[in-house]
Amino acid sequence: MGRREQNKIDTRRAIADAAFDLARSVGPGAFTADQIAERAGVSRRTFFNYFHSAEDALTVRMDGFLELALGVFGSMPAGEPLFESIIRAFSETTRMEGLSQHGELFRMADTNPELLRAQLHSWERAEVLIAEALRRRLGSVTGDLYLTALVGSVLSCTKAAMRDWAATTAEDAEDSGEQLEARILAALTMLRDGFSEPVASGAPSTARATHASPGQSV
Amino acid sequence: MGRREQNKIDTRRAIADAAFDLARSVGPGAFTADQIAERAGVSRRTFFNYFHSAEDALTVRMDGFLELALGVFGSMPAGEPLFESIIRAFSETTRMEGLSQHGELFRMADTNPELLRAQLHSWERAEVLIAEALRRRLGSVTGDLYLTALVGSVLSCTKAAMRDWAATTAEDAEDSGEQLEARILAALTMLRDGFSEPVASGAPSTARATHASPGQSV
DNA sequence: GCGAATATTTGCACACCGTGCAAACACAGC
DNA sequence: GCTGTGTTTGCACGGTGTGCAAATATTCGC
């Protein structure tokens, strides 16, 4: 990798880290682009070369999660039932590092509309990318509506799982990753089963529905 | 209704209309808050009393659609199968007036990130409201994750339907409303059936799956 | 290594944004 | 009318986001 590429990656990371540190210490929305730039050791102008706004610098991690999921999905065997691949792609992605930061960022969005919007945009971008990947996999037999509705629903369920996880799981829990994985699995299973019956709430992770239902041989 | 209330409603509408007119004539993102205010006959400061940004003034119609859907849903018989109510609530809402503007706004979002974010935020707000309504209806037997995943998926499907509709349907088509209704019905039916088999694409609206499947007696 | 070509960073300028504040104004109720 | 309350307005101010050109860093051919 050339010097140029590496420098850009480093700079981007430095800015994102500075933004996250600031958000953590003074709260989201309570700091300026200048402060981020200063802490990252770049000029204000350079900050805006990398991100459109302070909040955008906080979606790098979320983007990373979704890109990783997309990558994992791409490496699934093509013959595997569709929902199998989807579920495994997202639940395996929970084994990535730095997951607790995601929870923190999710919670921050509750008190900061701009950050929420930036995160929603991040999901939206992922939706487009995943829809494209899925189209390549399924070919042109499927309708656009089917494809986009499916991808949107999958991401909505994943989002709901992460929200629930962020809201209920202690930040430094030992089994944080497993907690998230269980919720993603649960939500996507509900989706595959058409939300047919309401699922009792309360303590999650017990009696997870893992029974691989028949059919689903897309 | 008192003078005060009526004035606020009028002002809000005047601003929203001014914003929409401007977006239509010069394009989204190509006008300032000052211009909206001037056209609406209020001061710049007053504009910001009503909306946080120029783009926010363009989500009033979308908010209206979603609030209307929520209202329709609330008036459904409580004993009706859940998906019946949901599908009817959204598809009946397509009979509202001014639907073509929604299509226009959807398309505008393709070229304007800020508008897209504002619209995503609008859907997000609706998601929260609908989840609350659903919780009141279903009681506390359902888990939070089930509820939020369901609502998110339903709205994702509706969103996908509107996107497809906005992209493929002529703005001034006579049967524009029916076109949208058919797509919403199709997408929500896919969801209810767990996206079990890929649906062939191409010309929509023929052979719509209307068969009321058994079960679903939530 | 050296210099030309190319990419990135930086400072500057500028229009615009979003909000606190207090005065002016409009409406409601008595 | 007169008073209390809610709304609009102008003003000021710090912050945002971007075009531009000069300065700086990296790459590549030689």
Contact (CB<8Å) B153/A156: yes
Higher pLDDT, B74 or B12: B12
Say if A187 falls within a structural domain.
yes
Q: Which residue out of A163, A195, A218 would a mutagenesis test of the B interface target, given it has the greatest number of B Cβ atoms within 10 Å?
A: A195
Say if A207 falls within a structural domain.
no
Looking at the structure, tell me whether residues A76 and A155 fall in a common domain: yes
Share of chain B above pLDDT 70, in %: 90
Q: Return the CATH number at A108.
A: 1.10.357.10
What is the rounded CA–CA span in Å between residue A122 and residue A130? 12
Whole-number average pLDDT of chain A: 90
**DSSP codes of every residue in A84-132:** HHHHHHHHHHTTSS-HHHHHHHHHHGGG-HHHHHHHHHHHHHHHHHHHH
**Other beta carbons within 10 Å of A132:** 13
Locate tokens 């005047």: which residue?
A: B14
Looking at the structure, tell me whether residues B34 and B66 fall in a common domain: no
Last residue of a domain, one of A35, A51, A67: A51
Looking at the structure, tell me whether residues A184 and A92 fall in a common domain: yes
- pLDDT average, residue stretch B187-207: 74
Say if A197 falls within a structural domain.
no
Q: How many CB pairs lie under 8 A apart between chains A and B?
A: 153
Long-range contacts of B23-32 (CB under 8 A, 24+ apart): B23/B58, B23/B105, B23/B108, B24/B104, B27/B108, B27/B111, B28/B55, B28/B58, B28/B108, B28/B109, B28/B111, B28/B112, B28/B115, B29/B54, B29/B55, B29/B111, B29/B112, B29/B114, B29/B115
Looking at the structure, tell me whether residues B43 and B90 fall in a common domain: no
Give residue B38's domain range. 3-53
Looking at the structure, tell me whether residues B105 and B188 fall in a common domain: yes
For residue B139, the model assigns a pLDDT of 81
Long-range contacts of B2-8 (CB under 8 A, 24+ apart): none
Say if A201 falls within a structural domain.
no
What is the rounded CA–CA span in Å between residue A150 and residue B160? 9
Amino acid identity at A58: L
Q: Return the CATH number at A22.
A: 1.10.10.60
Number of domains making up chain B:
2
What CA–CA distances, in Å, run from B9 to A50, A128, B3, B20, B65?
Answer: 41, 37, 10, 16, 17
From A138, A152, A199, residue closest to B198, measured CB to CB:
A138
Looking at the structure, tell me whether residues B83 and B167 fall in a common domain: yes
Whether residue A208 is predicted with pLDDT greater than 50 in this model: the reply is no
**CB neighbour list of residue A18: distance below 8 Å, 6 or more residues apart:** A36, A37, A39, A40, A57
Whether residue A210 is predicted with pLDDT greater than 80 in this model: the reply is no
Tell me the sheet residues that pair with B142: A200
Higher pLDDT, B35 or B206: B35
* Residues (132-151, chain A) with CB within 7 Å of strand D atoms: none
Whether residue A131 is predicted with pLDDT greater than 70 in this model: the reply is yes
What digits encode the pLDDT tens for the residues B44-83? Answer: 999 999 999 999 999 999 999 999 999 999 899 988 899 9
Say if B83 falls within a structural domain.
yes
pLDDT band per the 50, 70, 90 thresholds, residue B121:
very high
Say if A149 falls within a structural domain.
yes
Looking at the structure, tell me whether residues A34 and A73 fall in a common domain: no
Looking at the structure, tell me whether residues B41 and B148 fall in a common domain: no
Say if B71 falls within a structural domain.
yes
Looking at the structure, tell me whether residues B132 and B154 fall in a common domain: yes
- pLDDT average, residue stretch B202-218: 44
Higher pLDDT, B121 or A77: B121
What is the rounded CA–CA span in Å between residue A174 and residue A167? 16
Looking at the structure, tell me whether residues A188 and A96 fall in a common domain: yes
Say if B169 falls within a structural domain.
yes
Instruction: Extract the tokens encoding B92.
Output: 């009946």
Where on strand C do bases come within 7 A of a protein Cβ?
7-13, 15-21, 26-29
Looking at the structure, tell me whether residues A29 and A64 fall in a common domain: no
Looking at the structure, tell me whether residues A94 and A70 fall in a common domain: yes
For residue B208, the model assigns a pLDDT of 43
pLDDT band per the 50, 70, 90 thresholds, residue A200:
low
**B12 at A interface, C-beta within 8 A:** no
